[in-house]
A and B are shown apart, each in its own frame.
Chain A
Amino acid sequence: GPKVLQIPSHQIIDMGQMVTLNCDPVSNHLYFYWYKQILGQQMEFLVNFYNGKVMEKSKLFKDQFSVERPDGSYFTLKIQPTALEDSAVYFCASSTAGGVSAETLYFGSGTRLTVL
């Protein structure tokens, strides 16, 4: 079936440094998402992205976070600067459409970010 690829699977970074998480969504999908899962907790919505713009973001999407998908390449989540509380698994997802009648969200396997 359709696959969403996330690179890398694990990243370790020092607090205060910048990190970019990469996501290669399903090729014909138009909507892109990031979710965050802190160890032992629920997966939580961060942001969705369509047509080059952030459509909606949650309170977890801090000012230090940004997303982009330049020229149809990777969909990226950048954190600058990183903080200890940013340590989590970040899941990327994509879908063909948005809204309640949306197609299923297809998730990647996640990038485990460890901030030291």
Chain B
Amino acid sequence: QQKVQQSPESLIVPEGAMTSLNCTFSDSASQYFAWYRQHSGKAPKALMSIFSNGEKEEGRFTIHLNKASLHFSLHIRDSQPSDSALYLCAVSTGSALGRLHFGAGTQLIVIP
């Protein structure tokens, strides 16, 4: 059974700082790795995803995957107050249609 864990549980950073969020998974057959963001009371919304080892950058957001370490991360450059939200990592082995395994989330607060 896939186990997905996130750290830290919560994080407070000042505006402009670099934020790093971590996610570990247990199934080495995992093939799809994603970050979702959820503002309070709203729908989780996909931010970025990656399939292969390495880095992928989109604007201020970078996702980094190391399959051998069973770890991937999300880095937010120049964090903004609007980035304040619950960040969920999600992992899939790929064989199951849309069967994502989610972490419990990291609550990020960016202080102006």
Contacts and interface: CB of A to CB of B under 8 A. Distances in A.
Interface of A: 3-4, 31, 33, 35, 41-45, 48, 50, 55-56, 58, 91, 93, 95, 98-100, 102, 104-110
Given A3-B43, A43-B102, A91-B43, 20 more contacts: A31-B98, A42-B104, A43-B44, A43-B88, A45-B99, A48-B99, A50-B97, A56-B96, A56-B97, A93-B98, A100-B51, A100-B94, A102-B32, A102-B97, A104-B49, A105-B46, A106-B43, A107-B45, A109-B43, A110-B43
B31 A100 contact: yes
Interface string B66-77: 000000000000
Say what secondary structure dominates the interface of chain B: loop
A105 B31 contact: no
Contacts of B36: 107
A98 B97 CA distance: 5
A39 to B, nearest CB: 12
Contacts of A91: 43-44
A44 to B, nearest CB: 7
A100 B29 CA distance: 12
Of A55, A100, A108, A109, most buried by chain B (CB within 10 Å of CB) is A100
Contacts of A48: 96-99
A107 B97 contact: no
Contacts of A109: 41-43
